[in-house]
Each structure stands twice: as C-alpha cells, then as structure tokens.
Structure 1
C-alpha cells in the first residue's frame, strides 16, 4: 500500500464543510464505541450495521457518505481489537482500554463519496457539500487507476488541509546486492554509530527550537481565552511543532533509506522506548532522537528493497567486549570501552559490532 499526500486548496465554506465532516466522523466513532461498551459480544460487523441506525436517527450522520461512516466504525473497532490483543498477550502495564475521541483531525472515505476529475482536482459528492478541491503536490495520480485507490482521507493540520490517497500497489524495488552487513547502535550523543566505525550526528531538532517554542507558548498564555488573537497564537504554535515533526521525520527517513540501500543486512537493537523514557532525565532527548521512527523506516525500506533487517536483544551489547566477549561494566558517562584483553574502542562502536555479531548468528540459525 502506497500513501500519496497532497495539500488541498479550496474556499472558506469548503474548509468549514471539511470540519463538519471530521466532527461527524468523530461522532460516529464515539457512538460505535459506546454501543460496544453497552452491548456485550458486539463485533466489527455489528458496528458497521449500527452506522445505518445512526443515519436514521441523526441528520448530520445521514449527510456523511455511508463508506465514511463505516470507516469511522472501523476506527473504533481498531482500538477495541488492539485492547483485546494486548490483554491476550499479557502486555505489562495498561492495556489501552478504548477511549472517546475529543479532537479528531481526519475523515476517511472508501470507494464512494468522492471522484477524481483529473490528476489535480477531486470532488466529494456526499451531502456535506465539500465540493471540488484542488490538489497541490508532486505526485502524479494519472499513473494509477481509480480502482487502485482504496481510501481517501481529509486531514487537518496546523498549516492547512491535506488529502491522502491510499493506493494498492506493490512498492518493492529490485536493486543490486552490495555484499555489506552493518550493525547500528543508536544513541543520544550520535544519532547512530555503525559497526564500521562511522557515525551520524544527532541534530536535536526539538532542543534547537525549544527557545522559539517557549516564546510561542508564552504568547498563547498572554491572549484572552476565546479571542481571535489566541486562535492565531495557537496556530503559530502548532506550525512550529509541525515543522519540528517534519524535520525529524525526514531526517530519520533519509538515513534509513541510505543505510538499507548500502547494505544487504542491517541489525539494530530491539529497544522498548516506552520503558526507556521512564528515565525523566533523558526522556526529552530520547523522544527528540526519534529512535522508534528510525526503526520503522528501516523495516519499511527493508521490505521495499528486499533487504534483511534483524532486531537484536539489547542486553549487554554495550557491556560486552566485541573482541573477547568479557563483560565490562560501565556507566552511561563512560564513553570508551577498555577491556583487559587490550581492546579499546568507542562505547557505541563496540556495541554496534556486538549487535551485528548477534544478528549474524541469528540469521544463520533461521536460514533467512
């Protein structure tokens, strides 16, 4: 599945109609969740049938396209099924009991309720009166057939409204094998250090923009609640956060693509970020480093280019000597690995070698 995103351009009444559609989708999702709470044994198909009942009871629901109503019910069932799966797997801590949405930002259509007029214009045909919107972006929708577009989402962000097209297409590409293998150790000092001794700097996008964000937060707090100036200040704050989010996402995506294209096997630590950020002294820096997103892009590009990605147990990768295997205890402040066998390496470099060795032994056993 390929997701193509465009910014949409319309008039103010069309943006208001999009907001109304988003609120209606949120209403359907919350109603479906309440129906599941009040009726034991309800399944996914019962929630889809319940959408017809809501359409008969509420005019605002009837105005929304039927497939958009079903998509909203499916969102409710997605949170329900995730809760059941966490209970089944006995995930430690909270299991994520489904909650009601208070501020949804998107509405999703399936096969109906919209029509492509040409590769740069789309019209929504339900009774929400969204109408014809212009698509601004570099993707060419004419390359794909209309039957390949399975979903269309309208999303509100701080800098405007966007349309996402979920296209059913094989995203795999064939590239020449490089014959290289690499292990990656992510960190806070460097974004990652590989088993070849190379490292990428941690750009710390949030830390560098923190002063600007604090100023934007102060301006929001200085405005009167409910005023137009406060809404403008909130929007400026949202744009600042959105810029940081995009910078970090693009940085992680670019590095992951380069690593996958340059190596046939990539090994990395199977980190549990949720547990690591319990250290409140390092939580902000860990979130700023975007380790989890970097791993997701590694796995995505691994599938796309047909490369092997292996998640390794992170236990003792920093403490173990990559030369003789001896455990050398060291604190986080100790940045150099020094072993009695004479091995002296950077701490992260030593860990990257251990990660690669563990991955190669695993691959050999599983015949990957």
Structure 2
C-alpha cells in the first residue's frame, strides 16, 4: 500500500465544508465509542449499522458520504480492538482504553464520494457537504495507477493548510543486490547512532536548535486574549514552526534508515522500550527529539 500526498487548494467556502466534514467524522467516531461503552457486547457490525441510525437522526451526519461514515466507525473499532489486544497481551500499565476524540484533523473516504479528474490535477467530492472541486499540487504522478487501485482518499488538516492523501493498492518491490555486509547499531543522544565499525553519525537535534524560536512564538500565543483572532493567528504560526521541525526530523530519520538498509544485508540493533524511557523527565525531550522510533520503523 502506497500513500501519496498532495496539497489541496480551494475557496474559503470549500475550506469551511472540509472542516464541517472533519467535525462530522469526529462526531460519528465518538458516538460509536459511546455506543460501545453503553451497550455490552457491541461489535464491529453493530457500529456499522449505527452509522445509518446517526444519518437518519442527524441531518449533518446524513450529508457525509455513507462510506466516509463507515470509515469513522472503523476508526472507533480500531481503538477498541487495540484496547482488547493490550489486555490480552497483559501489557503493564495503561491499556489504552478508548477515549473521545477532541481534535480530529482528517476525514476518510473509501471508493465512493469522490471523483478524480482525467488530468489527475484536481479531485471533486460529490457528497452533500459541498466541498466540490479541489486543486491538487504535488510531485507524485497518479497516471501510473488505475482509479480502481485507489482504495482510500483522506482530507487532512495541518497547520500550513489542507492535504489530500491517496492510499493506492500496489505491490512494490525493489531488487537490491546482496552486499555481504552486516552491521550493529547503538543509538544514543550525543551521537545519533554508532555502528559496529566505529562510524558515528551526529545527532541533528532539530528541536534544540529551533527551541528559541518556538519559545518566542509560544510567548506570543500566551499574551493574546483567548478566543481572539490574533491568538488564532499566533497559534497558527506556532503550529507551522512545530510542523517544520517534525518534518525535518522525519526526513532525516527516513533517509538515514534507507541508506543503512541499502548498504547492509543484516542489521542488528537494540530493542529499546522508548515508551518507558521517556518517563525520565530529564531526558524525555531529547529522546523524543532523537526520533529513534521513526528510524527503526
């Protein structure tokens, strides 16, 4: 499964319609969680049927595409299943009991409710939310794939705008010649990792470098009156700067991991419980900034 992401552009009325669709998806997910809490023995099929009940009782829910409503119910069931699996495995501590979502940032459509243009430069959403046609801008080319290969379409809200993601069902294979090299990795905070050959890669520390700018942006948010437009603008600037740092961190981890994988046939690394390590309040920020999890995955 490949995920291609494009920047989506639309008018102010279309942006409001996207926000309305996201709020509706959040409402359906939270309603499914409430049904599971109140009615014992509620299963996945019960949540799917409950979507039709919500559409009949709430006009704004009926405006959302039926498969998009089912997708929101699937999100609710995914959180419930994760909780059940954690209980069965006997994971110590909190088991991840399903919570109500307060800040949803995406809505997911399946194979209906949208139509891609022939030139693959725009997409039109055909449900009753009134999103309409959105222009797409990105570096990926969708002409290599058939329409029936696109299984999911997501609209994602971020600090710097709205994005459209396409989940494409395709088997991707890379033929890499064996190099005969083996390597062992030891991650750290001072050096990003040290391999068994003595090669050390410096830790970029993106958060530490941008911390001064983030603190200044955070102070500007704190000075504004809650609920004012100026506070909203300051929060948007702060969100963009956080997003920029997270993108740098992810890009560095993925490119470095790809380089290591292509250069070696066997890679050995320590299995760290990062979730437990970040409980140390003295090192939590540095550990999260290192993004070991993204590097390993």
Q: Same fold (TM over 0.5)?
A: yes
- Structure 2 stretches of 5 or more lacking a match? none
Kindly tell me the number of residue pairs found equivalent between the two proteins: 296
Q: 1:224 and 1:43 mapped to 2: Cα distance?
A: 45
Alignment of 1:279-318 (within 5 A): 279-296=280-297
Q: Secondary structure at the match of 1:127?
A: coil
4+ residue runs of structure 1 moved beyond 4 angstroms?
Answer: none
- Who is 2:66 aligned against? 66
- Who is 1:321 aligned against? none
Deviations 1:13-69 (A, max 9, x none): 100000000000000000011011111111111100110010100000000000000
Q: Secondary structure at the match of 1:5?
A: strand
Q: Secondary structure at the match of 2:282?
A: coil
- Who is 1:49 aligned against? 49
Q: TM-score, normalised by structure 1?
A: 0.80
- Who is 2:195 aligned against? 194
- Who is 1:277 aligned against? 278
Q: 1:231 and 1:199 mapped to 2: Cα distance?
A: 43
Q: Secondary structure at the match of 1:165?
A: strand
Q: Secondary structure at the match of 1:42?
A: coil
Q: 1:54 and 1:221 mapped to 2: Cα distance?
A: 39
Alignment of 1:73-222 (within 5 A): 73-117=73-117, 118-222=119-223
- Who is 1:8 aligned against? 8
Q: 1:36 and 1:255 mapped to 2: Cα distance?
A: 43
Q: Secondary structure at the match of 1:193?
A: strand
Deviations 1:155-184 (A, max 9, x none): 000000000000001122111111101111
Q: Secondary structure at the match of 2:8?
A: strand
Q: 2:160 and 2:85 mapped to 1: Cα distance?
A: 36
Answer with 1 or 2: which has the greater Rg: 1
Deviations 1:123-171 (A, max 9, x none): 0000000000011001001110011100000000000000000000112
Q: 1:291 and 1:243 mapped to 2: Cα distance?
A: 18
Higher relative contact order, chain-length normalized (CA < 8 Å, sep 6+): 2
Q: 2:85 and 2:192 mapped to 1: Cα distance?
A: 33
Structure 1 residue 279: Cα displacement: 1.4
Q: 2:135 and 2:29 mapped to 1: Cα distance?
A: 28
Q: 2:227 and 2:130 mapped to 1: Cα distance?
A: 28
Q: 1:46 and 1:172 mapped to 2: Cα distance?
A: 38
Deviations 1:87-139 (A, max 9, x none): 00000000010000011000000010001013111000000000000110010
Q: Secondary structure at the match of 1:37?
A: helix
Q: Secondary structure at the match of 2:156?
A: strand
Q: 1:205 and 1:158 mapped to 2: Cα distance?
A: 18
Q: 2:231 and 2:129 mapped to 1: Cα distance?
A: 29
Q: TM-score, normalised by structure 2?
A: 0.99
Deviations 1:289-320 (A, max 9, x none): 00111111xxxxxxxxxxxxxxxxxxxxxxxx
Q: 1:125 and 1:269 mapped to 2: Cα distance?
A: 49
Q: 2:17 and 2:85 mapped to 1: Cα distance?
A: 36
Structure 1 residue 202: Cα displacement: 0.1
